[in-house]
Amino acid sequence: MSSKADIFKTGVLAVAPHMLSVIPFGIICGAIGIEMGFNPYLVYAMSIIIFGGASQIVFLQLLSGGASAIIAVTSVGVINSRHLLYGAVLSEHLEKLSLLKKLVISYFIVDQGFAESNKFLTKNKDQNNKHYHLLGTGITLWICWQISTILGIILGSFIFSIGSVF
């Protein structure tokens, strides 16, 4: 039986190769927000609240194009509806957890983390504390996403300020 820390670390290591796609995408999301004229704090807050690249880009594009907030939020909801399927798949592995733990874990579930953790959970159905794998993948992706978004905001601000000089 593995400890919680070992299971968490297994999740971190499983999702690590996905950082090759997450980092550039996070940088692009941050830079796009600045390029579209949004406040850097708003772009970063959106990254924390939405935590999904495609959803963030669509949200920014709709708002910058003049769409209402309700249209932007509804569109993000539709894009993220795939998470309902993730929840259905993961429900058998998380059924013994409290509602609060399920809600916390659900915030951190994104495509790459789901894919890696689903493989682990399927192979380790009888293991205790297997939800720590989901936390390992999700928190790793979240930290990487936030850092790369900040880099994109900085780079976007820098490029935008240089562009305005010329």
In whole angstroms, what is the distance from residue 15 CA to residue 32 CA? 25
Picking from 160, 143, 159, 161, the residue whose alpha carbon sits closest to that of residue 47 is: 143
pLDDT tier at 157 (50, 70, 90 boundaries)?
confident
pTM: 0.89
Per-residue confidence (pLDDT) for residue 162, from 0 to 100:
62
Q: What pLDDT score does 124 carry? A: 93
- The pLDDT value recorded for residue 2 is 85
- Distance (Å, whole) CA 25 – CA 53: 7
What Rg, from alpha-carbon coordinates, does the chain have? Answer: 18
Q: What is the pLDDT of residues 34-85, one digit of tens each?
A: 999 999 999 999 999 988 888 999 999 999 999 999 999 999 999 999 999 9
